[in-house]
Amino acid sequence: MHGMEKVPSALTLAQHRSHDYRFLIRCWRELVEEAGLRMRILTRVGGMPVYGLESKSPDDGRPEIYISAGVHGDEVAGPWGLLEWARENGALLRERRFLLFPAMNPVGMILNTRMDHQGRDLNRSFHELEDELMVAWRKLMEGRKLAIGLCLHEDYDGQGCYLYELNKTRKTIGKAVLQDCAEVIAVDGRRSMDGSRSNEGLIAKRKIPVLPGLPEAIVLHELGAPVALTFETPSEFSLVDRVRAQKTFITSALKHACVL
């Protein structure tokens, strides 16, 4: 695999650098050139830069693919899964237009906390129009047409993988995606997650739920992404498996949503 010589991923996990935000960013820096990505600082929060990566290639009229990770700092399989996926998909990254957020909550990642540098749940803050990070995020999102939005998360109560699906298209893809992910980590069999009814790991919403603060996926859906998926791996399972499941999720979601 390309890039293994410089920052071997197996070593990343073996050395327990899973909360090492600077190391994660260093790994991305080694990757961006070859993947045809531009790395920019959205803003600084708690003294730490938050990065957004976008394709350098000119707009070809096709909608962009959005993937974000690390909105909750203690859910580290997302950021490392996204990195691993990117390492293995350099050609695709160059071929299509992507918008990637490697770790949206750096202070939370470093401190191993769900909350951000202000002690708030970032995934209930995407409606905020005056917050520095949200203003920078919205500015970057302005005028973009999205094909799909993928939000990578974990759940410490999780007993397997599960998925929230917001989908305006005729064909839901959640079941097929979970089936692929189940080859790495079984589907969470609970009937209800956080008050939402789940059907074999799938929480599908036709109507946008009313919540006190807005999660990223809902705002992406409102901004025009016809499909917005929030994937959850169980935080108490092996980190190696969780990273693999996250990587599998990205590949499977892009395949089943037919956005490639």
The residue count for binding Zn ion (CB under 5 A) is: 3
Determine, following the binding rule CB under 5 A, whether residue 72 of this chain makes contact with Zn ion.
yes
Closest CA to 100 of 175, 177, 152: 152
Q: Candidates 3-11, 40-48, 69-77, 92-100 — which segment interacts with Zn ion by CB under 5 A?
A: 69-77
Q: Candidates 5-13, 45-53, 67-75, 133-141 — which segment interacts with Zn ion by CB under 5 A?
A: 67-75
Nearer to Zn ion among residue 75 and residue 165 (C-beta): 75
- Is the Cβ of residue 72 or residue 97 nearer to Zn ion in the bound state? 72
Residue 205 or 255 with smaller CB distance to Zn ion: 205
Alpha-carbon dihedral sign for residues 174, 219, 76, 38? positive
Would residue 84 show up in a list of annotated catalytic residues for this protein? no
Instruction: Look at the block and give the residue holding tokens 């399972």.
Output: 237
CA dihedral 244, 246, 249, 254 (to 10 degrees): -110
Which secondary structure element, helix H or strand E, spans residue 26, and what is its range?
Answer: helix 21-35
DSSP state at residue 161: B
Task: Name which position in 87, 97, 153, 221 contacts Zn ion (CB under 5 A).
Answer: 153
Q: Name the catalytic one among 64, 154, 165, 232.
A: 232
- 91's CB contacts (< 8 A; 6+ apart) are none
- Residue ranges in 101-130 that form contacts with Zn ion under rule CB under 5 A: none
Q: Which residues contact 245 (CB under 8 A, 6 or more apart)?
A: 77, 81, 161, 181, 184, 185, 233
Nearer to Zn ion, 52 or 78 (CB): 78
- Scanning residues 186 to 245, which ones bind Zn ion (CB under 5 A)? none
Instruction: Identify the H or E element spanning 98.
Output: strand 98-101
Q: Which stretch binds Zn ion (CB under 5 A): 59-67, 70-78, 203-211, 237-245?
A: 70-78
- Residues of this chain that bind Zn ion (CB under 5 A): 72, 75, 153
| Residues designated as active site | 232
